[in-house]
């Protein structure tokens, strides 16, 4: 359905039959609840936030008729009054269906000039499934309809039941406060430096100088062959980023234009640049399920010859780059496309992952998909569809190590982003945002604003282990969003990146040891250099600050 599919006149008719909820603001100390469930359960859990603004409401399940452009749906629905523009609304509920073994169920918000998916779940017969999402509206609304619906209007025999519904509003200040609390807990750690002399006596009043020399969290960008021989581009990149991914240069259609004739000259040169500057890099990608991006000659092969070509591709690529890349996107966009499985059978993806693992057992193997975290409106790539495919691969013995979320955004939905990450986090696998950008239909200032929202959500989530921007520089324009102009002066999105890079580092700090010879600070995770001076005595050392809940203690002797 599209934004015009809801009959607004009919919303008014529903007014007296639907639940009327007046929204109120939470207390300033409200904490975000990251609870999530991905298993179907016999009984629903209690509602998050005790129901939020739905607390103590006598929830009913009217089955109203909602007119669409093509047909009519009968659905449980809630009428929400007095939604506030700019407020972050976190929504969750448990869902059960009858009339089918399983069905994709969406929660959508409809109102004046508004229709958007705010959460989805693949619900099953006979048990309860957890839907988590949310929304932010740009301007206040007197009334809106929050309704549940199945994917296809033809599924007329499906009935939907909801339980433990919750709607919790957060002001923008509360939302940012929660992000900062999570950053302080997950991306920083308290350190106490102990300074003593050679006899072990504490040294009070020693000058301690601390400098962070590298960051633990990988935050980088795609690069293209345009980086080669381009010193201004290289200088700009190295000054900012500690991670890289090659935009197109490792893909099959770039390295093997003719069968058996591989050419890795360009990616080899790009890898030299990466190594020379101590930058880690992701491998993108080994295969791509979209046939449009396979080499033209591959699409015309017989099944037997396709098998041979696949084997040669993996052996050649992985032999050339074994141990070079920390991650590999093995089979790109396998929720949306199925070229290899159509040609070679339903187990084709399993074999691709198995061969990749055998060729480079130390690399983390990723699925990589779009529209998982960007929206819940794409039925191919809902969070539950992603989880189901991951579990299927793992059940069949695949060494699956990571979750790749591309992150090609239009207008980002922060509570939905966080809800999707919460559900994926239940799998206890590292999550990377692998190709983050904002659609070029927006002006550069809006792109920058939306980019900052995405980066803050990703960095503040404890299960996100890295973020890659999809902003490789090209003189004729980037894929969707550029960080600089052709002279490598920052555009608004580049200014946002610089601001956050500065915000998310400890920088240089100094202070004096106390009467116990100690100096403490709270620093971002990474590598540090520390220098101590007392009179004419000096000492220096390095130490690592990695994740941990307890204070990190480090001793220095003068």
Catalytic residues: 333, 435
C-alpha to C-alpha distance for 298 and 305, rounded to whole angstroms: 9
User: Which two tokens mark 407?
Assistant: 């992150």
Q: What residues contact 42, with CB distance under 8 A and at least 6 apart? A: 127, 128
Strand partners, 544: 527
C-alpha to C-alpha distance for 280 and 391, rounded to whole angstroms: 28
Strand runs labelled E in 235-307: 243-246, 280-288
C-alpha to C-alpha distance for 554 and 542, rounded to whole angstroms: 10
Q: What residues contact 180, with CB distance under 8 A and at least 6 apart? A: 460
Three-state SS string over 476-513 comes to CCCCCCCCECCCCCECHHHHHHHHHHHHCCCCEEEEEC
* 100 DSSP 8-state letter: S
- What is the chain's Cα-based Rg? 26
Q: Could you tell me which of 129, 42, 142, 30 has the C-alpha nearest to residue 88? A: 30
C-alpha to C-alpha distance for 409 and 306, rounded to whole angstroms: 34
**Cis peptide upstream of residue 285 (ω within 30 degrees of 0):** yes
C-alpha to C-alpha distance for 275 and 280, rounded to whole angstroms: 8
Beta strand 537-545 with 526-534: parallel, antiparallel or unpaired? antiparallel
Beta strand 141-150 with 72-83: parallel, antiparallel or unpaired? antiparallel
Q: Are 444 and 471 in contact (CB under 8 A)?
A: no
C-alpha to C-alpha distance for 275 and 128, rounded to whole angstroms: 50
Q: Are 150 and 46 in contact (CB under 8 A)?
A: no
Cβ neighbours, 10 Å, residue 510 = 14
C-alpha to C-alpha distance for 534 and 195, rounded to whole angstroms: 10
């Amino acid at each position: 359905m599209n934004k015009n599919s809801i009959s607004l006149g009919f919303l008014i008719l529903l007014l007296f039959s639907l639940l009327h909820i007046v929204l109120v603001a939470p207390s300033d100390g409200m904490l975000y609840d990251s609870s999530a469930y991905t298993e179907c359960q016999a009984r629903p859990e209690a509602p998050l936030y005790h129901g939020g603004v739905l607390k103590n409401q006598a929830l009913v399940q009217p089955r109203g008729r909602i007119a669409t452009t093509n047909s009519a749906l009968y659905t449980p629905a809630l009428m929400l009054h007095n939604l506030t523009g700019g407020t972050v609304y976190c929504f969750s509920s448990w869902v059960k269906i009858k009339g089918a073994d399983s069905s994709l169920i969406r929660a959508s918000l409809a109102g004046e000039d508004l229709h958007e998916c705010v959460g989805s779940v693949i619900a099953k017969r006979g048990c309860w499934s957890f839907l988590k999402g949310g929304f932010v509206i740009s301007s206040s609304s007197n009334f809106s309809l929050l309704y549940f619906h199945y994917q296809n209007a033809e599924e007329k025999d499906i009935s939907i039941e909801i339980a433990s519904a919750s709607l919790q509003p957060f002001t923008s200040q509360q939302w940012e406060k929660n992000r900062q609390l999570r950053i302080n807990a997950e991306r920083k750690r308290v350190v106490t430096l102990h300074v003593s002399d050679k006899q072990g006596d504490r040294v009070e009043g020693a000058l301690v100088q601390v400098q962070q020399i590298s960051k633990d969290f990988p935050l980088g960008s795609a690069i293209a062959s345009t980086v080669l021989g381009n010193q201004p581009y290289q200088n700009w990149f190295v000054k900012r980023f500690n991670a890289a991914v090659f935009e197109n240069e490792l893909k099959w259609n770039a390295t093997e234009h003719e069968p058996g004739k591989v050419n890795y000259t360009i990616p080899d040169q790009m890898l030299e640049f990466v190594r020379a500057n101590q930058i880690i890099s992701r491998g993108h990608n080994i295969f791509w399920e979209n046939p449009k991006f396979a080499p033209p000659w591959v699409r015309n092969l017989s099944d037997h010859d396709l098998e041979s070509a696949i084997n040669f591709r993996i052996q050649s690529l992985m032999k050339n780059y074994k141990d070079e890349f920390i991650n590999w996107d093995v089979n790109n966009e396998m929720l949306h496309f199925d070229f290899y499985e159509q040609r070679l059978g339903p187990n084709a993806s399993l074999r691709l992952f198995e061969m990749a693992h055998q060729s480079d057992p130390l690399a983390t193997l990723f699925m990589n998909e779009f529209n998982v975290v960007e929206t819940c409106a794409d039925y191919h790539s809902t969070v539950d569809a992603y989880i189901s495919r991951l579990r299927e691969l793992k059940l069949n013995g695949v060494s699956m190590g990571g979750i790749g979320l591309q992150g090609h955004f239009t207008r980002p939905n922060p509570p939905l982003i966080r809800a999707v990450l919460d559900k994926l986090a239940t799998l206890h696998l590292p999550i990377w945002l692998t190709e983050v950008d904002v659609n070029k239909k927006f002006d550069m200032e809006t792109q920058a604003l939306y980019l900052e929202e995405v980066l803050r959500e990703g960095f503040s989530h404890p299960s996100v282990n890295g973020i890659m921007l999809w902003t490789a520089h090209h003189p004729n324009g980037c894929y969707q969003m550029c960080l600089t102009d052709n002279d490598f002066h920052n555009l608004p999105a580049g200014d946002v990146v610089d601001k956050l890079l500065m915000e998310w580092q400890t920088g240089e700090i100094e202070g004096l040891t106390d009467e116990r010879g100690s100096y403490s600070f709270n620093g971002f995770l990474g590598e540090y250099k520390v220098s101590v001076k007392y009179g004419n005595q000096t000492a220096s050392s390095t130490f690592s600050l990695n994740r941990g809940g307890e204070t990190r203690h480090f001793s220095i002797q003068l």
